[in-house]
Amino acid sequence: MEQGQPESGTGTLGKAIAVLDAVATANRPMRFKDLLAALDQPRGTLHRQISNLIDEGLLQVNSDHSYELGIRLLKFAANAWSGSRFREIAEPHLRALHAKVGETIHLSVLQGVEVVYLDKVESRQSVRMHSQIGNTSPCFCTGVGKAAFSVIPADEAENRIRKIVFKRYTEHTITDEHAFRREIEDIRAKGYALDREEHEAGIHCVAAPVAAPDRGFYAGISVTAPVYRVPMEQLEAWAGDVRAAADAIMEDMNAKLGPRG
């Protein structure tokens, strides 16, 4: 289900999931009228779905009558991720990469046109990143997002590009789809991505894709560091290590989870 166009299922569960998905992927807080316009659900049905989700702690109401995801979902997410076989497989490779570079390591998965941070190994340095597991960031201005995007099949990539709302975060942010396409082609050729202070001034990273299309996801891993401490030349020198870690995760998945398909 892609950002901006959530669809409701035919059953009660499908309709409830559509509400949660609409709230989770919206670019701004959604009120009842926004959900009514976005979802193919009758007013009465939608009102019941929202009330049930609030009662179950899956949705909560803000003071301005907009909605956000409920705290109970965090518990579901934490339990799901902590028991994930993918996490078990990826974690030692993330830590091995961290041992080599000493900077912050991220593992993220692409969801629509955003990346969700799934795991993090913190820098050994006193100044660290403020990223959090479970947070999301745009795909077009983050290293992990661009890396994951680079392994999407061309037709699917085009569909997603049309849904990106390009927003300027810094003076280095890519702000149009033509520049983004050129960037993705360059990443496909090199095998790694760079974030050149595109999402946050003073922070840059090098990333590589973890491609698992037959398992239903595209992911990326990155080394992230402040510009004042790690020059771009050093980040690019780590590109081979990042790619090797990504390849090792994919090889480990194939060995431990069996053939894809």
- 31, 49, 70 — which closes off a domain? 70
Instruction: Grade residue 81 by pLDDT with cuts at 50, 70 and 90.
Output: low
Residues 164, 170, 176, 181, CA torsion sign: negative
The number of domains in the chain is: 2
Say if 76 falls within a structural domain. Answer: no
In this structure, the strands spanning 104-111 and 114-121 are: antiparallel
Backbone angles phi, psi at 116, to 5 degrees: -110, 125
- pLDDT at residue 173 in the model: 97
- pLDDT at residue 78 in the model: 60
pLDDT beyond 60 at 126: no
Q: Structural domain of residue 198, as residue ranges?
A: 83-257
Q: Are residues 44 and 130 in the same domain?
A: no
Q: Which of 44-48, 118-122, 126-130 has the lowest mean pLDDT?
A: 126-130
User: pLDDT tens for residues 190-201?
Assistant: 999 999 999 999
Q: Are residues 221 and 102 in the same domain?
A: yes
pTM comes to 0.70
- Asked whether 30 and 19 are in contact (CB, 8 A), the reply is no
Name the percent of the chain lying above pLDDT 90.
55
Task: Find all residues with CB under 8 Å of 22, minimum gap 6, and list them.
Answer: 6, 30, 35, 38, 39
Q: Please calculate the CA angle 196-229-200 and round it to the nearest 5 degrees.
A: 35
- pLDDT at residue 99 in the model: 95
Q: Are residues 197 and 102 in the same domain?
A: yes
Q: Are residues 149 and 48 in the same domain?
A: no
User: pLDDT tens for residues 4-56?
Assistant: 444 444 578 888 999 998 988 887 888 999 999 999 899 999 999 999 999 99
Q: Which of 16-30, 96-110, 142-156, 190-204 has the lowest mean pLDDT?
A: 16-30
Q: Which of 90-94, 117-121, 226-230 has the lowest mean pLDDT?
A: 117-121
- pLDDT at residue 193 in the model: 98
Q: Are residues 18 and 66 in the same domain?
A: yes
Say which CATH number the domain at 57 has: 1.10.10.10
pLDDT beyond 80 at 82: no
Closest by CA position to 23, among listed 56, 71, 67: 67
Name the strand (E) or helix (H) holding 255. helix 239-257
Say which CATH number the domain at 202 has: 3.30.450.40
- pLDDT at residue 86 in the model: 79
Q: Are residues 44 and 157 in the same domain?
A: no
Q: Are residues 20 and 110 in the same domain?
A: no
